[in-house]
A and B are shown apart, each in its own frame.
Chain A
Amino acid sequence: MTAVDTPTEVLARAREQVLDNGVGLSQTDILTVLQLPDEHLEELLALAHEVRLRWCGPEVEVEGIISLKTGGCPEDCHFCSQSGQFTSPVRTAWLDVPSLVEAAKQTAKTGATEFCIVAAVRGPDKRLMAQVAEGVKAIKDAVDINVACSLGMLTQAQVDELVAIGVHRYNHNLETARSHFDQVVTTHSWEERWETLRMVAAAGMEVCCGGIIGMGETVEQRAEFAAQLAELAPDEVPMNFLNPRPGTPFGDLPVLEGSEALKTIAAFRLAMPHTILRFAGGRELTLGDLGARQGMLGGINAVIVGNYLTTLGRPAESDIDLLTELRMPIKALSATL
């Protein structure tokens, strides 16, 4: 990319490099894509969709998530209503194992193949690990679904334990670009998160790592973040858009413009042509129904259906109906094993 590249030139290069050869764009080219004028948005989304179809296929991976332990987290992630450091109205709650199994059943009924158990912690203690082990076993005994976990930063022994109990994917978001991280979190570092991800990958679990767009980062930092994720090469990248939470330091940040969100989706797809790129939290607010459709036709190939951890999502049926209408089959469990 040079200063003289026009939008048409950069899209032509993306077509050759990413669509034809499956090689993700460089950070410089990602930035150019993110800075494309809005009149090129449709063309950009169409290219990202082609890339997704070519390298990932038409299937959509459907997932449900549940909060096993809500609120009272000692960390200070400035976007998070579950931090115990802010005056958020969210109170601490623990889910029991029967309720966890019920949530997995509800998720499986939508056709989902993934069920992610999430806890608001810096990292799991013995009590949480025991609850997770019991819960994963109970789910596996009762429901045909892949179980993923998101329990914060792990030790090597905890990584090994999760592998042993059959957790197939681990979510741990880097959240934002390395250069912006200290504006978002001060109680731990980007590098500590990276270390957990490295251990998870080395242990053979699938890696799920993404972040939140719209936390005051520059467009340059969005490109940096995409390049850093591409370097990590996660199996899945969940894309969240900031839903400003009352009582948190980011509670008054503006909601991201829909066109910005869509450009970011397409740019992340062009940075990571082979990854599972998942629509996650905040899309209802940022994109609405029309934007959700554009995103599905602009590089996304996975969704979280139903509610989130502390907020409500679109009804699962709305997303499933949309996939039917778009003729995008839900990925079958057999295809994920």
Chain B
Amino acid sequence: MQDGEAAATGFDPMAVVFCGQCGELLAAGDHLACQQRAELEPPRYCPQCARRMVVQVDPVGWHARCSRHGQYASD
């Protein structure tokens, strides 16, 4: 998850391969626009597999669930 937002319990930061904003490989491109967007957007793609996640925004944060890799949440 490139946006520095948070990670699932037991989540290995080394497993971050995909951009949570655009779903593309982090290694492909600089994702600067994605980083800017992340200030006002929750991640939509799983950082481990790029599947689209089910995201719930609440007044103070967000939760996101990947069908394969489980739950992520803001701090």
Give the interface of A toward B (CB within 8 A): 64-67, 70, 89-93, 95, 99, 102-103, 106-107, 110, 243, 284-285, 305-313, 316
B58: interface (CB < 8 Å): yes
Q: How far is the CB of A120 from chain B (nearest CB, A)?
A: 12
- A307-B62 in contact (CB<8A): yes
Contacts of A312 on B, CB cut-off 8 Å? 39-42, 57, 62
Q: Given A90-B44, A312-B39, is A99 in contact with B58 using a C-beta cutoff of 8 Å?
A: yes
Q: Which residues of A lie under 8 Å from residue B52 when comparing CB positions?
A: 89, 91
Q: Are B54 and A89 in contact (CB under 8 A)?
A: no
Question: Which residues of chain B are within 8 angstroms of A65 by Cβ–Cβ distance?
Answer: 59
Chain B CB within 10 Å — which of A89, A92, A107, A243 has the most? Answer: A89
- CB contact between B57 and one of A92, A102, A110, A309 (< 8 Å): that residue: A309
Contacts of A309 on B, CB cut-off 8 Å? 57
Contacts of A110 in B (CB 8 A): 59
B53 within 8 A of A: yes
* Given A311-B40, A312-B42: A93 touches B55 (CB 8 Å cut-off): yes
A308 to B53 alpha-carbon distance, docked (Å): 18
Name the CB-closest residue of B to A285: B40
Separation of A285 and B58 alpha carbons in the complex (Å) = 19
Q: Can you name 25 A-B residue pairings with CB atoms under 8 Å?
A: A64-B59, A65-B59, A70-B55, A89-B44, A90-B55, A92-B54, A93-B54, A93-B56, A99-B56, A99-B58, A102-B58, A103-B59, A106-B58, A107-B59, A243-B40, A284-B40, A285-B40, A306-B59, A307-B60, A309-B57, A311-B42, A312-B39, A313-B40, A316-B59, A316-B60
New contact pairs (8) apart from A90-B55, A106-B59, A305-B59, CB-CB < 8 Å: A70-B56, A89-B45, A95-B56, A99-B56, A99-B58, A107-B59, A306-B59, A312-B41
CA distance A313 to B42 in the complex (A): 11
Q: How far is the CB of B64 from chain A (nearest CB, A)?
A: 10
Interface string of B38-75 (1 = CB under 8 A from A): 01111011000000111111111110000000000000
Q: Which of A64, A91, A106 has the most CB of B within 10 A?
A: A91
Query: Of residues B39, B41, B62, which shows the largest number of chain A Cβ atoms within 10 Å of its Cβ?
Result: B41
Residues of B within 8 A of A107 (CB): 59
In Å, the complex CA distance between A307 and B61 comes to 7
Please give, as numbers and ranges, the residues of chain B lying within 8 Å of A64 by CB-CB distance. 59
